[in-house]
Amino acid sequence: REIATDMRTLTRQVEEFARNKKIEIETLKVREAYRKEFLGNISHELKTPLFTVQGYIDTLIEGAHKDKAIRKKYLARAQKGVDRLTYIVNDMDMITKLELGDLNLDKTDFDIIDLVRHVFDQFEMKAAKKKISLLFDMVYTEPIMVHADEERIQQVLANLLVNSIKYGKTNGTTEVAIEDLINNKVIVRVTDNGEGIDKTHIPRLFERFFRVDRTGSRKEGGSGLGLAIVKHIIEAHDERIYVDSELGIGSEFSFTLEKVSSSRLDSEIPGSIS
């Protein structure tokens, strides 16, 4: 009887091993398919800036370097191309980590108002170049503490702000507003009065490499990954992202965040009675 029990245990172990191996193989297959598709996208996206850089360098080597003004101009353009390549590669690195679930969130409590102000400072110059006003409701006198990965949420805000400026119109506005929701949540809204998005494109907007107007977006320096990164970060937080847009009128992107409950805040203030 002992041998029979041992055999049953062994069979169970072998079955479990086989099951685990199968899962492992399935995971590898998914990863392999993902890798193949992604590699195709990557080479396509990198070709344009790579050819640009190569073109300027070839021209310089062929003799353009002799003229100081032309040399400076071509080198500056080549540098811009390299910057663009770096930007795309960084976005690709981020989306790969997010899509394969390799990105661990580092959640802390922070003031979302502070973060919005910080991101506004970052983009003031970019907005000013297009005469776009960045507006943030001044009613916020108290901090609004949220629990999330601050660096990633900064990236979400940055990507949404960059888009609102890129696809915004000259003399337009980008406005950020924060509202309390029930269930200890806040919603952050980024609204612009720019070119807007046709309804037919909305369902694909958050797909990686999707762009409404490929040439327009390239000219503006996009990677086609901005919104895909935003969606992944928000979903990794178990939060929601929404878009509301009308062609020719403007767009609103909004996302939710978990608010730090006031009771928890009180207990963290030194000297307070909890």
Q: Is 164 in the site for ligand ADP (CB under 6 A)?
A: yes
Q: Is 172 in the site for ligand ADP (CB under 6 A)?
A: no
Q: In this structure, which amino acid lies at residue 194?
A: G
Instruction: Give the E-state strand segments of 93-172 in sequence order.
Output: 108-111, 133-136, 145-148
Lookup: tokens for 233: 């970060």
Q: Nearest distance from residue 198's CB to ligand ADP, in Å?
A: 9
Q: Is 226 in the site for ligand ADP (CB under 6 A)?
A: yes
Instruction: Tell which one of 45, 148, 251, 258 touches ligand ADP (CB under 6 A).
Output: 251
Q: Is 222 in the site for ligand ADP (CB under 6 A)?
A: yes
The pairing of strands 173-181 and 133-136 is parallel
Phi and psi at 246, nearest 5°, equal -135, 130
* Residue 169 DSSP class: P
Q: Is 254 in the site for ligand ADP (CB under 6 A)?
A: no
First to last CA, the chain: 62
Instruction: Tell which one of 157, 227, 233, 257 touches ligand ADP (CB under 6 A).
Output: 227
Instruction: Tell which one of 193, 223, 254, 256 touches ligand ADP (CB under 6 A).
Output: 223
Q: Is 163 in the site for ligand ADP (CB under 6 A)?
A: yes
Q: Select 163 or 254, whichever has its Cβ closest to ligand ADP.
A: 163
Comparing C-alpha atoms, which of 76, 77, 73, 84 is closest to residue 49?
A: 84
* Residue 203 DSSP class: G
Q: Is 193 in the site for ligand ADP (CB under 6 A)?
A: no
How many amino acids of this chain bind ligand ADP (CB under 6 A)? Answer: 23
Q: Nearest distance from residue 208's CB to ligand ADP, in Å?
A: 8
Q: What are residue 258's DSSP bridge partners?
A: 185
C-alpha to C-alpha distance for 165 and 183, rounded to whole angstroms: 32
Give me the residues that bind ligand ADP (CB under 6 A), please. Answer: 163-164, 166-167, 192, 194-197, 205, 210-213, 217, 222-228, 251
